[in-house]
Amino acid sequence: MGKKVGIEVSIAAAEAVGLCDVDVVAAYPITPQTHIVEHLSELVANGRLDAEFVPVESEHSAMSVCCGSAAAGARTFTSTAAQGLALMAEIVYIAASMRLPILMLVANRALSAPLSIWNDHSDAMMVRDSGWIQIFCENGQDVYDHIFHAYRVGEDPRVSLPVMVNMDGFILTHVIEPVEFWTKEMVGSYLPRFRPLNTLHPDKVVTMGAFGMPEIYAEQKMAHDQALKNSMPVLLEGWDELAKLTGRKYEPVELYRTEGAETLLLAMGSLCETASLAVDQMREAGRKVGLVKLRLWRPFPLAEVRKALSGAKDLVVLDRSISVGAANAPVTSEISAAMYHEPQRPRIHCMIAGIGGRDVTPEDITNMVDLSLKGTEQECHIYGVRG
């Protein structure tokens, strides 16, 4: 087993990328992800990582470089946040449709305007339908472990898709946490050498991302959709192997104190740890409350979600983004659609909290449960708005 150290999560993530022996890092700075690529530049400059570090002129260029390098058969990495992901979005869709197994760390940050450098999930939700595998991490160890898992799954020839690992900006990126490092031997036993399905090479000319006539576009999109859904067994296999190697078991949907619970909370990312504290307090007060942690966002774990939520009377979804003008926030909408035809569907309540980086405490989460149980099903509430 590796050594456990106290370290800033962004630096730990960069160290994990270095252990993966990446070939190309395409980097453009934006708060709060900058520490990741800064540290990777140090690893390259100091000779610890033999890679091409490409300081591009924009995030759009960063993802363009990633597409080129991945298509040429190079293990590729980038990271971004908020407006950077927005600028990158055009190429984000292309990378997924071309089945290029890029790893991107997103330091989740609120989208402007007004300008905010603080955390919420609006950037990830903006590209939720782009066709990437998307994972949300709860703490620093999650982030570190999922660097290896992302390459293990995305580069698997049965998958060949890009992976987006989401880590909450500042709440995780700039916080020092205990992280158990992997050894090179552990990485070598877990992560195979990258062997791309198709590569660009002057000796064997191929075309990637060519013009798609109406007669083939629908078929291509269906194939992409099926490929993303079919990645689920490989994701599970990667998590199983990771558990054997480290003793840490990750799942698409994870449960916390749900036994006998009549009311369930559902959250993603670092808010899960705060929600766990709230559940502990409510359980100590005799309340039948549990927590469902949604780790895997895409492919959406439909069967696992339905199993986790069946039997509960009420479900309070803690959404960390707002879908302006819609009936519900993004995660609530997804959960509502998943449970619509279920015979034991709970009453679903939408609570939007923590947008723009506003703090959410265990007491706030208890208050949100109370507000939800007083209200009606599907009522969408932005918690803590003043005035």
**Max CA pair span of the chain:** 70
Give the dihedral of Cα atoms 310, 312, 313, 316; nearest 10 deg: -100
AA letter at 66:
C
The architecture (CATH level 2) of 4-245 comes to 3-Layer(aba) Sandwich (3.40)
Q: Which residues of the chain have pLDDT under 50?
A: none
Extract the tokens encoding 277.
């504290």
Give the dihedral of Cα atoms 16, 19, 24, 28; nearest 10 deg: 30
CA atoms within 13 A on the CB side of 267: 30
- Positions of CATH 3.40.50.970 in the chain: 4-245
Sign for the CA dihedral angle at 343, 344, 349, 351 comes to negative
Q: What is the CATH number of domain 254-382?
A: 3.40.50.920
Q: How far apart are CA 78 and CA 37, in angstroms?
A: 8
Tell me which H or E stretch contains 231. Answer: none
Closest CA to 36 of 210, 136, 151, 169: 169
Q: How far apart are CA 328 and CA 338, in angstroms?
A: 14
Strand, coil or helix: 64: helix
Q: Quick one: pLDDT at residue 372?
A: 95
CA angle 89, 94, 100 (to 5 degrees): 115
**Is the distance from CB of 82 to CB of 123 less than 8 angstroms?**
yes
Q: Quick one: pLDDT at residue 200?
A: 87
Q: Quick one: pLDDT at residue 208?
A: 85
Question: How many other C-beta atoms lie within 10 A of the C-beta of residue 323?
Answer: 18
**Is the distance from CB of 300 to CB of 266 less than 8 angstroms?**
no
**Is the distance from CB of 135 to CB of 164 less than 8 angstroms?**
yes
Q: Quick one: pLDDT at residue 334?
A: 98
Q: How far apart are CA 265 and CA 279, in angstroms?
A: 9
- Positions of CATH 3.40.50.920 in the chain: 254-382
Cα-to-chain-centroid distance, residue 295: 7
Residue at token pair 């369930």: 264
Q: Which residues fall within 8 angstroms of residue 221, CB to CB, at 6 or more apart? A: none
CA angle 84, 89, 92 (to 5 degrees): 115
